[in-house]
Chain A
Amino acid sequence: MTETAPILQMQGIHKWFGTFQALDDCSLEVRPGERIVVCGPSGSGKSTLIRCVNQIETVDAGTIRFDGQLLDDSPRSRPIRKAIGMVFQQFNLFPHLSVLDNLTLAPMRVGGLSRAEALTLAHAQLSRVRIAEQAGKFPGQLSGGQQQRVAIARALCMQPRLMLFDEPTSALDPEMVNEVLDVMVDLAQGGMTMIVVTHEMGFARKVADRVVFMEGGRIVEVESPEDFFDRPRSPRAKAFLGKILSH
C-alpha cells in the first residue's frame, strides 16, 4: 500500500449531551484531497461529528488527530485548528462588520497578516466565490446565498487544509442552493479536502469520494457514492434513501 497518510483520524469518538448519546464509537479517516459527504436522518449525529473535529464540541471519549497531532480544546490545539475551516448552516457572519472586515478580521488578528495582505487575500477569496462586487456591504444587505458564499470565503481566508461544511444549503431558499453548491464543486475540483454534511444527494453523487451514512450516533456505512446510492447494504440506509429520493 502506498497511500498517503491520513490528514484526519477520528478514533472511537463518543459524545454525550446529558443522558443523550450523540456519537457512539465513531471512527473515520480522511486522506488529503478526499471529499467526504456525511448524510443520515435528523439527529443522527452528523453535525456533532464535524463540530467535534474543530472542537466546537469536545469529545467525551476517543481521539482526533490532524496531521498526526492530537486535537483537543486546549490552547495548544489552536495552531492546528487554524488549518481547519468551517462553514455553518446559519452562515454566522458577523453582522456588525462589513463583508471585507468579516474576511480580514481573523487573518489579521490570528494569522498576523498586515491589513494590506489581508485585503489582497480577502479580495482574491471573494472573487473565488464570485461575489467580489459585494465587498463593501454588510451581511444584512446580502441574500442568503450570497451570505453563505461570503462565509465560505471567510473560512478560505485562513488558508485551511480541511474544510468542514455543516448543512451549508439547508437554510437557503431553493433558488439559492445552486450558487453555493457551484462554489463548493469548484473548491472540490481545486483539490480541497472537504467533509460536507448535507442532504444534497446530487452534490454527493457528483463530488464525493466516499459517503458516510450515520444513524443513531453511529457510522453505519462508508461507501463510494455509486455503491451507496445504487446498492445500499444496510436496511437503514435503504430506508433513508427511499425517503429522501422518493420525490
Chain B
Amino acid sequence: MTRQTAKELTLQVLIGLSPVALGVWLAGNLQANLAARGLTSGYDFLLDPAGFAITEGPLPYQTGDSYLMAFLAGAANTLTVSIPAIALTTLFGALLGIAAISRNPLLAGVVRLYVDAARNVPLLVHVLLWYVLLLTILPDATKPFVLGPLFLSKAGLALPHPLTGEWPRLGYFGLRGGLQVSPEFTAIVMALATYSAAYCAEIVRAGLQSVPRGQWEAAHALILTRWQAIRMIVAPQALRVILPPYISLALNTIKNSSLGVAIGYPEIVSIGTTSMNQSGRAIECISIIALLYLILNIATSFTLAIVNRRVQIRER
C-alpha cells in the first residue's frame, strides 16, 4: 500500500464513521434529556385509549379506541382524500393539458392563465380559500344548492351513495342518507385537485408536445381529425413521457393532503399532532407519521410503476 492510498483510506473511514458518531451522540443526548425531565419513551402508548374523537372517516373508530386505531383511522382518511384528489387531478389535468395545445388562442390563453395562477399560489392558500368559500357562499343545510345528483350546503356535499344507490333526502335538520362528506373533506379534495391539476396540465402538455410534428402531419394527411390524432396517435406516444412525472405528482398529492390539518380534517398529521400533545411522545408520533406516509407512497409508487410498465408501448 502506498502512502497515498493509505491516506485516502483513512480519510474515507473517518468520513464514514462521522455520521455514525453523530447518531450515537444524538441518541445519548435524547436519552439524557428525557431522563432529566422524567419522560418515558417507547411505543407502548399505542395500545392506550386515545380518548379523542375523529369526526369522520371510513374506519369505525370510537373515542375509547387505542392510539394505534386512531393512527390507522388517520391513514385511512389520508387515502380517502388522496384517491378522489388524484382522480380529479388526472381528469382536470388531462383536459387542461389538451386544451393548452389547442389552436384556439383564447382557450390556450385561459389555460395558461389558470396554470400560472394555480401554481403560483401556495397550496395552503388553496385549502383555506376553498374552505372559506364553501362555508360562506353555500346555503344552509336546510336549503341545499342542488346540482343534478349533488347537494351542496354549508354542511358539506351530499350525493347518491355509490354502493347502495340511496339518494340524500331533505329532512328537518338538513340532508339525510346518501353519501355525505364534510366541507373539510370537500375543501381539501378540491384544493388538491385544482392545485395539482395545474402541474398535471403542464406534464400532459409537455408530453403531447414531445411527440414529433411529423406524427401530427401524417395523421392530418390520413384525414384523421385533430381529436382522433390526439387519441390514437399522439397520446399513446406521449404517455411514455407523461407517466414518470405523473407518478411523482400523485405521490406529492398524497403528501400534500397533510395540509388538511389546517382546516381540521382528521388525516395522518392531524391525528399525529393530537396524539403527540396527549401522550407527550413527540419523536414516536413523528416517526409514525413518517412511516405511514412512507408505506402509503411506496404502495402507490409500486402500483403506478406496474401501470407504467403496462403502457410502455412496444416498438420492436
Within the complex, what minimum Cβ distance (angstroms) separates A194 from chain B? 15
Q: Is the CB of B315 within 8 A of A56?
A: no
Q: Could you give, for residues 125-159 of chain B, a 1 whenever the CB lies within 8 Å of some chain A CB and a 0 otherwise? A: 00000000000000000000000000000000000
Residues of A within 8 A of B315 (CB): 95-96, 138-140
Tell me if B228 counts as interface (CB < 8 A to partner A). Answer: yes
Cα-based distance from A29 to B315 in the complex (angstroms): 41
What does the 1/0 interface line of A37-81 toward B look like (CB < 8 Å)? 000000000000000001110000000000000000001001001
- Check A56–B232 contact: CB distance below 8 A: no
Q: Which residues from B are CB-within-8-Å of A155?
A: 221-222
Q: Is the C-beta of B280 less than 8 angstroms from some C-beta in chain A?
A: no
* A158 in the interface (beta carbon within 8 A): yes
| Chain B residue with Cβ nearest A83 | B223
Say whether A158 contacts B314, CB under 8 Å: no
A85 touches B221 (CB 8 A): yes
Complex interface residues of chain A between 90 and 136 (CB less than 8 A to chain B): 90, 92-96, 105-106, 109-110
Of B212-220, B243-251, B283-291, the one touching chain A: B212-220
Q: Which residue of the partner chain, among A75, A90, A94, A138, contacts B316 with CB atoms under 8 Å?
A: A138
Shortest CB-to-CB span from B133 to chain A, Å, is: 41
A82 at the binding interface (Cβ < 8 Å):
yes
Among B217, B223, B314, the one with the most A-chain Cβ atoms within 10 Å of its Cβ is B223
A141–B315 Cα distance when bound, in Å, is: 8
Closest chain-B Cβ to A168's Cβ sits at a distance in Å of 13
Residues of chain B lying within 8 A (CB to CB) of residue A141: 316
Q: Which residues of B contact A154 (CB under 8 A)?
A: 222
Interface size class of B (residues with CB under 8 A): 20 to 34
Is B276 located at the chain interface by the 8 A CB criterion? no
Mask: chain B, 217-248; 1 = CB below 8 Å from A; 0 = not: 11011111100100011001100000000000
Q: State whether the Cβ of B295 lies closer than 8 Å to any Cβ in chain A.
A: no
Residues of A close to B212: CB separation below 8 A: 90, 92
A213 at the A/B interface (Cβ < 8 Å)? no
- For residue B146, give the distance in angstroms from its CB to the closest CB of chain A: 38
Q: Is B313 part of the binding interface, using a Cβ–Cβ cutoff of 8 Å?
A: yes
Once the chains are docked, how many angstroms separate the CA of A54 from the CA of B220?
9
CA–CA, A95 to B232, complex, Å?
A: 12
Closest chain-B Cβ to A10's Cβ sits at a distance in Å of 18
Q: Which A residues touch B224, using CB under 8 A? A: 105-106, 109-110
Contact B237 A96, beta carbon cutoff 8 Å: yes
From 280 to 316 in chain B, residues with beta carbon under 8 angstroms from any chain A beta carbon are 313-316
Q: Contact between A96 and B313 (Cβ–Cβ < 8 Å)?
A: yes
Chain A residues with CB under 8 A of B222:
105-106, 110, 154-155, 158
Instruction: Give the docked Cα–Cα distance between A40 and B222 (Å).
Output: 27
A228: interface (CB < 8 Å): no
- Interface contact B316-A140, CB-CB below 8 Å: yes
Query: Quick check: is A180 within 8 A (CB to CB) of the other chain?
Result: no
Least distance between B310 CB and chain A CB atoms (Å):
14
Per-residue CB proximity of A139-170 to B under 8 Å, as 1/0?
Answer: 11100000000000011001000000000000
Given contacts A138-B316, A139-B315, contact A94 B223 (CB under 8 A): no
A94 vs B212: C-alpha distance when bound (angstroms) = 11
Bound Cα distance from A154 to B315, whole angstroms: 18
Number of interface residues of A (CB under 8 A): 28
What CA separation (Å) do A194 and B218 show in the bound complex? Answer: 18
Q: Is A54 within 8 A of B237, CB to CB? A: no
Which residues of chain B have C-beta atoms less than 8 A from A94's C-beta? 215, 218, 233, 237
* A96 and B214 contacting across the interface, CB-CB below 8 Å: no
From B217, B225, B237, B313, give the contact of A88 (CB < 8 A). Answer: B217
Q: Which of A75, A88, A106, A109 contacts B214 (CB 8 A)?
A: A88
What CA separation (Å) do A228 and B223 show in the bound complex?
A: 35
A30 in the interface, Cβ–Cβ < 8 Å?
Answer: no
Decide if B223 touches A92 in the complex (CB within 8 Å).
Answer: no
A154 to B223, CA, bound (A): 12
User: Across the interface, do A92 and B215 meet the contact criterion of CB distance under 8 Å?
Assistant: yes
Q: A86 at interface (Cβ–Cβ under 8 A)?
A: yes
CA distance in complex: A56, B223 (Å): 11
User: Are A106 and B223 in contact, CB atoms less than 8 angstroms apart?
Assistant: yes
Q: For the complex, what is the distance from the CA of A84 to the CA of B222, rounded to whole Å?
A: 9
With contacts A92-B215, A138-B315, A140-B316 known, is A105 near B232, CB below 8 A?
A: yes
The minimal Cβ–Cβ distance linking A24 to chain B, given in whole angstroms, is: 23
Q: Could you show 11 A-B contacts with beta carbons less than 8 Å apart?
A: A54-B221, A82-B223, A90-B212, A92-B217, A95-B313, A96-B236, A105-B222, A105-B224, A110-B224, A110-B228, A154-B222
Extra pairs beyond A78-B223, A82-B223, A96-B236 (7, CB < 8 Å)? A84-B221, A88-B221, A90-B214, A93-B218, A96-B315, A141-B316, A155-B221
9 closest A-B pairs (Cβ-Cβ)? A106-B222, A92-B218, A86-B221, A92-B214, A96-B313, A140-B316, A140-B315, A110-B223, A141-B316
